[in-house]
Structure 1
């Protein structure tokens, strides 16, 4: 008796999840806000924050290997002239407008109030309150990248 005949075979296939632009944008902003929370925690403790991302490099043997490369994380909080702490959400390198008037920062007061502000922003993103702003920012960001046609070469 063959081994395959002892198994229960079927024609089922895994379902694919459609690439949702809103979901990708939300996940990107939430990951950024979580990274800002970790950066703030390291700043408060007086430690250096070390973030990494995977990159591919060619080793001495000529093989492509995946390594983790450290990256610089920009602080999204700042002090104004009066010493008040403000926090801004960035999508790419540009501040994300948080309301219809174009406000880009949230007043946190002190560094102690900043984790609550970040948590509130995460909740707002998860609830979909910033979907219109994220869609606009993603559309503006995509204009910066030219698509190559089949006949053109990269410079």
Structure 2
């Protein structure tokens, strides 16, 4: 067998961003895309069937990768006046969207929510939320305690 009959190229698989800002952006964008799917399912009157890969031990004692269903928390809510609001979460906490600490966007009605989510996705991809994401990531890292004897890599 020779390489003469094959079409060669320089394509490479797309990998996760290497820098912290890129990972945080990707995480928020993935979360917003999932919220968009949840909203679509809600408007259609069906449940969202989201899954994530986990490893389980089967009957033969082997570790196998299976897809486990997960509950996706809805990030929009209605206030007492009937106005719909939307929050962007980083981890389990709402992400402050401005310097004043506002954590929600006033949407109005569910019909307008897909446009708001689309605008937030565009803002996250453009880097408009990078400062807030850096602060949220720093706050989140404080919740995790370092193990005794673990050293921080430089």
Q: Mark yes or no: TM-score above 0.5.
A: yes
Q: Could you give the per-residue CA deviations for residues 15-47 of structure 1, whole angstroms, max 9, x where no partner exists?
A: x98720000000000000000000000000000
Alpha-carbon RMSD: 2.0
Match in the other structure for 2:113 = 114
Secondary structure of 2:27 counterpart: helix
Match in the other structure for 2:22 = 23
Match in the other structure for 1:10 = none
Structure 1's consecutive aligned runs of 4 or more residues displaced over 3 angstroms after TM superposition are none
What is the CA–CA distance in structure 2 between the aligned matches of 1:121 and 1:17, rounded to whole Å? 21
Secondary structure of 1:78 counterpart: strand
Aligned residue runs from structure 1 range 3-152, under 5 A: 19-150=18-149
What is the CA–CA distance in structure 2 between the aligned matches of 1:120 and 1:145, rounded to whole Å? 32
Secondary structure of 1:106 counterpart: strand
What is the CA–CA distance in structure 1 between the aligned matches of 2:106 and 2:68, rounded to whole Å? 33
How many residues of Structure 1 are paired with residues of Structure 2 in the alignment?
Answer: 140
Distance 1:18 1:144, change over 3 A: same
Structure 1 length as normaliser, TM-score?
A: 0.85
What is the CA–CA distance in structure 2 between the aligned matches of 1:42 and 1:140, rounded to whole Å? 32
What is the CA–CA distance in structure 2 between the aligned matches of 1:113 and 1:39, rounded to whole Å? 15
Structure 2 length as normaliser, TM-score?
A: 0.85
Secondary structure of 1:48 counterpart: coil
What is the CA–CA distance in structure 1 between the aligned matches of 2:29 and 2:23, rounded to whole Å? 10
Structure 2: segments with no counterpart, 5+ residues = 4-11
Check the 8 A contact 2:17/2:23 in 1, yes or no: no
Distance 1:126 1:17, change over 3 A: closer
Structure 1: segments with no counterpart, 5+ residues = 8-13
Q: For the pair shown, which has the larger CA radius of gyration, 1 or 2?
A: 1
Per-residue deviation at 1:145? 1.2
